[in-house]
Structure formats: C-alpha cells, structure tokens
Chain A
C-alpha cells in the first residue's frame, strides 16, 4: 500500500498572506490540525500546524505548561490571540516541511511521521499538492474496509 491509496484528497491550503486568525477559524471549520501553505503558483512553501499557531500567539507559554503546574489564564490567552491574529502564515509556518510523494510506502511514511513527531503532512506529485496524510488516517486506512456501509455506494468506479 502507498500513501496515495489512503491520503485525504483535500486540497484546502493557506496562502502565505493568510492571517493567523483566519487560519485558526479554518482549522475549526475544516476540523483539522494544519494546512499546507502554497504560493501563487500553487507550489508548497510550508505547513502551518496548530502547534505553529500556538507558538505564535502564546510564545513561551507552551514551555511553561510542560514543566510546571501553571494554570493557563484564558483571558490572557484570548488577548494574545487577538494581538498575534493579524500576523501572517508565512511568518510562523514550518518552512522546508516534510512532504511525501504519493507513491511512498505507508510503512516509510509511518516511520518518518513518528520519528519526527509529525501529525499531518502534505502529499505531492511533481511538486503539486495532491492531498494530505495524518497519523490517524494511516490507522484508519488499515481498517477502512470494516467501515464501508455499502448501502450508499455509487456504482463501481471503472478504469478508462
């Protein structure tokens, strides 16, 4: 099995000029943890994850939460989100992000995602985004057949 077989064929992406506030609202609307960032020629230039957004809006806070009993101050965080919300995706995205070719084997993709602690990554064909893959999807991919309801299936898809 290759990653192209199980990837999420959704091309939703951010522009470099997308504001962090818009990125947050898109993450909520699309129920996802991150988006590829593309330039005007539709080439991937980075990936903006919820972690990148958190780092941008509450710098230093994440470290505190890891190592102490600090209780997050929600009102303070809201103010920080408001302040950093107008900053742009390009300033906080992970540049040189990892992207998988669609014919990469699942086992290879799994190893790299766990090793580098990546939750979601773009899948590309000749530099163009063709989908994304996340760790959850990989697991679901292994058991997908068990969840097909059959009842709502369209007729078999034929090869040309």
Chain B
C-alpha cells in the first residue's frame, strides 16, 4: 500500500465568480470544497486510478475532522496524528477571465509529542508500505529536517520515496537521497504571466541533485511542461490541455500517476507519459482530481516527450 505524508493538510475552498476586485463584495457562482495538501491530493488521485493508500500527517479542529471524514468516505485509509488547533482553510477565487487569487493559512502548531507520535506511526506503517510520497509546506513546530528524517525511516526499509517540496526542507531531504524529487514551484509563482525559468538553470539544478544520488528529478518548466532528469538523460514532457480549469493540483497528479505507473512496472518513458496524462485530466477537471483512469488512458497520445 502507498503511504502519503501531508504535514500541513488543508480544507480547499474554491469559489468561481464573474469578476474579482479587491475591496468589493462578490457572489460566488459555484463553490467546490475538498480536502487538500500535496499528499492528500495524491491519495485522492491514486484512489481514482484504482490504488489504495494510507494518508498521514497532522489534523486539527473541525477542518481536520472534515478532511478525515471525506478521505474515509472515499475509501482512503487515514493514520493522522490529531493535534490541538485547526487545519488551514485555503481559499481560491477564480473569475471569469481565469485569473485565480489564493489566500492560504499557516496551519496549526505541531508539538514535539505529536511529532514523536507521527514518526512512531511511520515506523509502524513500513511493513505494509510499497512506496511513500510526501510534500507541501511545513506547519509551525515541524522542523526543516522533517522530510529528511522521514526519508531515513523509509530508506532503511528499502521502500521508494517521492518528495515534492521546496526550500531548506527540500535541500535537507535531498541529503537523505529520496528516489524521486519534484522541485515544487508554489502556485503563487506559477501563474500564467510568469516567464518560465531558463532551461539551462533548471537542468543545472536537476543535475546537481542527480549527482548527489537521486534517481529521478522533475522540475516544472511551465504549467504545461516538466523537465525530467533520469538515469537515461534529460527529457522535456509537454501537454496541451484543451480547457484547463486550474493547475493547482497538477504536480500532485503527476506524482500520483508516476507512482501508479511504478506499481505497474511501466518503462521510464511510459511512466512520464502516464503521469503527464494524469496532469491533462486533473487540470481540466472542475472537481478535485481526475475523472477516471479511462480518461487518463485516452489522452496518453496528447503528451509529447523529447530528449533535451
């Protein structure tokens, strides 16, 4: 069973409005509420692809209760540490032009006892883990060494580990040599008007992590393209989704797709293709995740992969 780790899960509330202007009141045309956070999203998408997972992290208050209840009602197993406080509500407002505004919260403070309990849970889950995925930012009280320490536990059991993070937490995690690293560019700087980072710079960063001993590094080049650094070289995988709704969970769809592909022992190229097709379906789906596995298979041909 795949284990996902979300240190800072949230309740995502997405509002669609005709227009959005600061300082004004707006009536939402529609509201979609869902559990969120990197690992939580991966668990949801894995389930949609037909894979069971255990979702872990820290839950607090009524928002935490909502996240847990929703995951359980969708047949996803939970093993969260409950703490005091309240999980974040992340609010997304999208107007008719497609522009998205986000307001996020810091998350509840995690005590050292809760951290200890989390690590005990991870040790305990290892006999049943086939892979571990983790990602997202860290709530107050969780040290930057968190991901590195989780990787240490997972690697001792020879279980592959996927990480999607950024900053110091990612730098430290790389030291423990995860299997797959996705360099997380926050939604704030992946908007449509941001110039994609120079390919040379991305390749240099990915190569540096690869040389440290990580098997596969993924760096977003733009919303629609990812650079893969693998044992077989660099690849650029691109998609052209027809009616994208939001790119928010694109990275989670890629992770979930790649993990499902690994469980099915697909080749590296098929793994990239399957993962990117999950992205096509997820960015076009008005609700959290993707419509179906069949939909993912129908857009495999929409992924172009070239060696760079």
A residues in contact (CB < 8 Å) with B: 8-13, 15, 22, 26, 29-30, 38, 40-42, 128, 130-131, 148, 151-160
In the bound complex, CA of A148 to CA of B73 (Å): 9
Partner of A11, one of B51, B54, B120, B123: B54
Q: Is the CB of B72 within 8 A of A9?
A: yes
Contact status of A157 and B47, CB under 8 A, knowing A9-B72, A26-B82, A152-B32? yes
In the bound complex, CA of A131 to CA of B77 (Å): 8
Q: A40-B124, A155-B292 are in contact. List 9 more A-B contacts (CB 8 A).
A: A9-B72, A10-B78, A11-B78, A38-B124, A42-B124, A154-B287, A155-B285, A158-B50, A160-B49
Contact with A along B26-69 (1 / 0, CB 8 A): 00000111100000000010011111001000000000000010
Contact status of A130 and B293, CB under 8 A, knowing A8-B72, A38-B124, A157-B47? no
Inter-chain contact count A-B, CB under 8 Å?
84
Those 6 A-B pairs whose CB atoms lie nearest each other, nearest first:
A160-B50, A29-B82, A11-B79, A9-B77, A158-B292, A158-B293
Q: Is the CB of B291 within 8 A of A159?
A: no
Q: Is the CB of B83 within 8 A of A128?
A: no
Q: Is the CB of A130 within 8 A of B82?
A: no
Instruction: Determine if B197 is an interface residue (Cβ-Cβ < 8 Å).
Output: no
B residues in contact (CB < 8 Å) with A: 31-34, 44, 47-51, 54, 68, 70, 72-80, 82-84, 113, 120-121, 123-125, 127-128, 285, 287-294
Partner of A158, one of B44, B49, B113: B49
| Main secondary structure on A side of the interface with B | loop
Q: Is the CB of B293 within 8 A of A160?
A: yes
Residues of B within 8 A of A155 (CB): 48, 285, 287-292
Residue of A nearest to B70 (CB): A152
Q: Is the CB of A156 within 8 A of B292?
A: yes
In the bound complex, CA of A128 to CA of B34 (Å): 30
Residues of B within 8 A of A13 (CB): 124
Residues of B within 8 A of A128 (CB): 127-128
In the bound complex, CA of A5 to CA of B294 (Å): 25
Q: Is the CB of B34 within 8 A of A154?
A: yes
Partner of A42, one of B32, B47, B72, B128: B128
Residues of A within 8 A of B293 (CB): 158-160
Q: Is the CB of B124 within 8 A of A9?
A: no
Residues of B within 8 A of A30 (CB): 82
* Nearest CB of B to A136, in Å: 14
In the bound complex, CA of A66 to CA of B20 (Å): 63
Q: Is the CB of A29 within 8 A of B83?
A: yes
Residues of A within 8 A of B121 (CB): 11
* Nearest CB of A to B246, in Å: 14
Residues of A within 8 A of B74 (CB): 154, 157
A-B contact pairs, 5 of them (CB 8 A): A11-B121, A29-B82, A154-B34, A156-B48, A160-B293
Q: Is the CB of A153 within 8 A of B287?
A: yes
Residue of A nearest to B291 (CB): A155
* Nearest CB of A to B294, in Å: 7
Partner of B79, one of A12, A22, A29: A12
In the bound complex, CA of A22 to CA of B111 (Å): 14
Q: Which of B44, B77, B288 has the most CB of A within 10 A?
A: B77
* Nearest CB of A to B255, in Å: 17
Residues of A within 8 A of B80 (CB): 12
In the bound complex, CA of A155 to CA of B78 (Å): 19
Q: Which of A130, A154, A159 has the most CB of B within 10 A?
A: A154
* Nearest CB of B to A48, in Å: 15
Residue of A nearest to B84 (CB): A29
